[in-house]
């Protein structure tokens, strides 16, 4: 069993067995038939992934690596807030007629700020510090900009990353306010694990830990049977992530620079209902 599978199974089991249900409360999300979409949740979930030991992609079902990386590059490399720069359709419902999702996600990372060393956006400041100030305890990003929230079509879910170099290893803490465990949990883990690999590669570092801190980790009521079936499945050993060793600049990465070796996985879950 991969470590990522065990973490996922234990988290889901804890949420289902010990979580807090929103039944009886007024909730914002609705199913397509108009029924309130209730959840069972745990507050303050913390999952730790040792990226030096394995790449934390689920084997219980497939997580599509190239699509996940395409989205993280859309946000962190292209710094885009327009779905026309993204291959997948997962953001379409949040976009306006021009394709924009407002002043959200990539838009925030691309805003330049003044420092003693010059002007940097948030991504370039991280890359600068990893090379010039690796012992700094100030290497972080934050896209939850309160003054722009009213112009975001979706408030950021994964909103802050703190990077920390220990020895020659790059570690990161991903802070997330809300996480739909069945639909998005491993998707986010895979994305930010890949991002740590990218930043480590171009900074001359090795990968260390990814710590995923989730304020509200929830499973929707209609997802519970699907999660129960998923976590009862056979697990496989984690695959190996191969990153193109020729890439030296973060802005040169493409989805084709990442390959999974020996990725065994279960079948995809089809027909997952999505609350809106």
Query: Mind listing the pLDDT tens digit of every residue in the chain (276 residues)?
Result: 999 999 999 999 999 999 999 999 999 999 999 999 999 999 999 999 999 999 999 999 999 999 999 999 999 999 999 999 999 888 998 899 999 999 999 999 999 999 999 999 999 999 999 999 999 999 999 999 999 999 999 999 999 999 999 999 999 999 999 999 999 999 999 999 999 999 999 999 999 999 999 999 999 999 999 999 999 999 999 999 999 999 999 999 999 999 999 999 999 999 999 888
Tell me which residues are annotated as active site: 157
Is 115 a domain residue? yes
Is 232 a domain residue? yes
Is 267 a domain residue? no
pLDDT at 93: 86
Is 274 a domain residue? no
Is 266 a domain residue? no
Is 271 a domain residue? no
Alpha helices in the chain (DSSP H): 3-18, 65-76, 106-109, 122-132, 181-203, 224-230
Is 12 a domain residue? yes
Here the CATH number for the domain that contains residue 20 is 3.30.572.10
Q: Which domain holds residue 184?
A: 3-261
Sole residue written with tokens 């883990």: 189
Q: For the chain, what is the domain count?
A: 1
What does pTM read for this prediction? 0.97
pLDDT at 254: 98
The C-alpha atoms of residue 273 and residue 31 are separated, in whole angstroms, by 8
Is 276 a domain residue? no
pLDDT at 276: 85
43 burial class (0-12, 13-18, 19+ CB within 10 angstroms)? exposed
Which residues are annotated binding-site positions? 137-138, 177-180, 188, 218-220, 275
pLDDT at 89: 86
Which residues are annotated binding-site positions for dUMP? 137-138, 177-180, 188, 218-220
């Amino acid at each position: 069993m991969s470590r990522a599978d065990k973490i996922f199974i234990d988290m889901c089991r804890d949420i289902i067995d010990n979580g807090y249900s929103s039944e009886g409360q007024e909730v914002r999300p609705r199913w397509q038939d108009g029924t309130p979409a209730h959840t069972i949740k745990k507050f303050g979930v913390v999952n730790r992934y040792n990226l030096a030991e394995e790449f934390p992609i689920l084997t219980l079902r497939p997580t599509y690596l190239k699509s996940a990386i395409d989205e993280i590059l859309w946000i962190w490399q292209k710094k885009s807030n327009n779905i026309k720069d993204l291959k997948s359709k997962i953001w379409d419902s949040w976009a306006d007629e021009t394709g924009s999702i407002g002043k959200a996600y990539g838009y925030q990372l691309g805003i330049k700020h003044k420092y003693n060393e010059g002007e940097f956006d948030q991504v370039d400041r991280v890359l600068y510090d990893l090379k010039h100030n690796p012992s700094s305890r100030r290497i972080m990003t934050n896209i939850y900009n309160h003054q722009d929230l009213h112009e975001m079509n979706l408030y950021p879910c994964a909103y802050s990353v703190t990077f920390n170099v220990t020895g020659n290893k790059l570690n990161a803490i991903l802070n997330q306010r809300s996480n739909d465990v069945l639909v998005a949990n491993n998707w986010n883990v895979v994305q930010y694990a890949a991002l740590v690999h990218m930043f480590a590669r171009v900074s001359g570092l090795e990968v260390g830990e990814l710590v995923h801190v989730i304020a509200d980790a929830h499973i929707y009521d209609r997802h519970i049977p699907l999660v129960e079936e998923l976590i009862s499945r056979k697990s496989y050993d984690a695959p190996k992530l191969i990153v193109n060793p020729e890439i030296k600049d973060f802005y040169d990465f493409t989805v084709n620079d990442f390959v999974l070796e020996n990725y065994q996985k279960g079948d995809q879950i089809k027909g997952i209902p999505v609350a809106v």
